[in-house]
């Protein structure tokens, strides 16, 4: 490895590590705040908080690596440009290509690392995070309670329920509503003024107080039978749905590339041309978006490298602050395009592959244009200077 390459990598490493740590904490801060609020309010052990953060970390690092690479390139080249080191290198015949190649090689390496994280670590971490969440819910059902939100934990059993508020003194649930397909697929609707949620002998139960149950008549008429009650218990079987060790999911974010590809083929085969299901089509689009994201997102490192290197050479004064500001602007543009790509891919406006690679294409193309201009400008300056002759200085004292 040439000295100039080692020097560029040495300048790149410290700001990359610092930026990686900063971006990771910035991204994870919102999740940390949500978890702390949840765990403090629901009284769950802090050990689960630490474990949850551990499982969230891979997804955060996958996003942080491209951003850290861009900022590190801008800061390192900005510092070198501000201290006139790049000018001195150019004066000694070091070309733009010689400074660009080692940094581009680093971005390619980081893209490969990010891709490995997406393939090997992220699916397992996501599955473990969901499994942990369900295990916490199983041991502490209060975690699932959200005011004004329809609870879907028992949707597979035909049960949906919600409550409007919680009494601050008694901690009882207020104004409970339950939808239950209980009698031969016929709906049953229950209203209760208050309720409490408990967990006893391995079984969760919802205890309703002062309510009414509305059930359709069994004789086929359009009438309803109303039953009033003072107290009623409803079993909530979390064991089968929330068992941590046995939990499996077919969500695209928990699949590896090969599994997701097979999942896409299965969905595609289930769609009949004569009778297309809108739900199945949306599932297929979502799966394809997640599939192409697994490739597009890691190679954001390369796209950021293509645009970051020429921008780093442009910075002249106050290189660190200007470089950091430019980096944030490019990052915002990239993730804005990424969000647009996800939306257009999900709606079918763009093909999922084009939709997810759109940010890389736009950012990379801009970077290639900047780099080409700098390379062309350097060659043009060298061509203009090649015919210039050095002035001949005659020392008359030496002749005499």
Q: How many domains does the chain have?
A: 2
pLDDT at 200 over 70: no
DSSP string, 144-207: G--TT--B-TTGGGTEEEEEEEE-TTT--EEEEEEEEEEETTEEEEEEEEEEEEEEETTEEEEE
Residue 238 has pLDDT above 90, yes or no: no
Task: Identify the pLDDT of residue 172.
Answer: 82
Least confident range of 33-47, 93-107, 337-351, 384-398: 384-398
**For residue 240, what pLDDT band results from cuts at 50, 70 and 90?**
very low
Q: Let me know if 298 is exposed, middle or buried by CB neighbors in 10 A (0-12, 13-18, 19+).
A: buried
pLDDT of residue 372 exceeding 50: yes
Number of other residues whose CB lies within 10 A of the CB of residue 38: 15
Confidence band for 137, pLDDT divided at 50, 70 and 90: low
Same domain, 212 and 316: no
| Same-domain status, 131 and 161 | no
Asked whether residue 241 is assigned to any structural domain, the reply reads no
Has residue 336 got a pLDDT over 70? yes
Q: Which domain holds residue 204?
A: 155-236
Do 15 and 132 reside in the same domain of the chain? yes
**147 domain residue, yes or no:** no
Range with the lowest mean pLDDT among 52-56, 277-281, 313-317? Answer: 313-317
261 lies in some domain: no
Give the separation between CA 259 and CA 254, rounded to whole angstroms. Answer: 9
- Grade residue 318 by pLDDT with cuts at 50, 70 and 90: low
Q: What angle do CA 262, 265, 268 make, to 5 degrees?
A: 155
Cα distances (Å, whole numbers) of residue 230 to 57, 216, 226, 233, 325: 48, 21, 14, 11, 64
Q: What is the pLDDT of residues 152-164, one digit of tens each?
A: 655 555 677 788 8
Residue 271 maps to a domain: no
């Amino acid at each position: 490895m040439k000295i100039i390459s080692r020097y560029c990598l040495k300048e790149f490493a410290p700001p990359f590590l610092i930026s990686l740590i900063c971006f990771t904490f910035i991204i994870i801060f919102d999740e940390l705040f949500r978890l702390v609020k949840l765990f403090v309010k629901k009284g769950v052990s802090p050990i689960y908080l630490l474990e949850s953060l551990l499982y969230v970390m891979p997804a955060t690092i996958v996003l942080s690596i491209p951003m850290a690479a861009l900022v590190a390139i801008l800061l390192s080249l900005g510092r070198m440009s501000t201290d006139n080191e790049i000018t001195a290198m150019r004066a000694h015949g070091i070309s733009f290509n010689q400074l660009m190649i080692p940094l581009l090689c680093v971005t390619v390496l980081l893209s490969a690392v990010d891709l490995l994280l997406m393939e090997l670590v992220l699916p397992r971490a996501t599955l473990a995070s969901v499994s942990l969440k369900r295990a916490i819910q199983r041991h502490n059902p209060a975690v699932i309670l959200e005011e004004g939100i329809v609870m879907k934990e028992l949707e597979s059993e035909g049960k949906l329920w919600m409550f409007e508020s919680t009494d601050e003194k008694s901690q009882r649930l207020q104004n409970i509503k339950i939808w239950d397909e209980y009698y031969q697929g016929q709906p049953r609707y229950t209203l209760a003024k208050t309720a409490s949620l408990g967990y006893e002998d391995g079984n969760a139960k919802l205890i309703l107080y002062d309510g009414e149950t509305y059930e359709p008549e069994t004789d086929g008429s359009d009438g309803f039978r109303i039953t009033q009650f003072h107290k009623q218990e409803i079993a909530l079987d979390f064991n089968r749905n929330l068992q941590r060790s046995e939990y499996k999911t077919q969500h695209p974010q928990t699949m590896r590339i090969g599994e997701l590809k097979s999942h896409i083929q299965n969905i595609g085969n289930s769609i009949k041309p004569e009778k297309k299901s809108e739900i199945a089509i949306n599932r297929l689009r979502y799966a394809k978006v997640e599939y192409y994201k697994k490739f597009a997102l890691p190679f954001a490192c390369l796209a950021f490298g293509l645009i970051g290197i020429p921008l780093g050479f442009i910075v002249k004064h106050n290189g660190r602050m200007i470089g950091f500001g430019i980096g944030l602007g490019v990052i915002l543009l990239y993730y804005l395009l990424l969000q647009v790509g996800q939306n257009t891919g999900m709606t079918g406006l763009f093909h999922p592959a084009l939709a997810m690679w759109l940010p890389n294409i736009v950012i990379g193309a801009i970077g290639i244009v900047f780099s080409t201009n700098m390379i062309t400008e350097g060659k043009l300056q060298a061509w203009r200077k090649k015919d210039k002759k050095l002035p001949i200085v005659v020392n008359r004292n030496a002749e005499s």
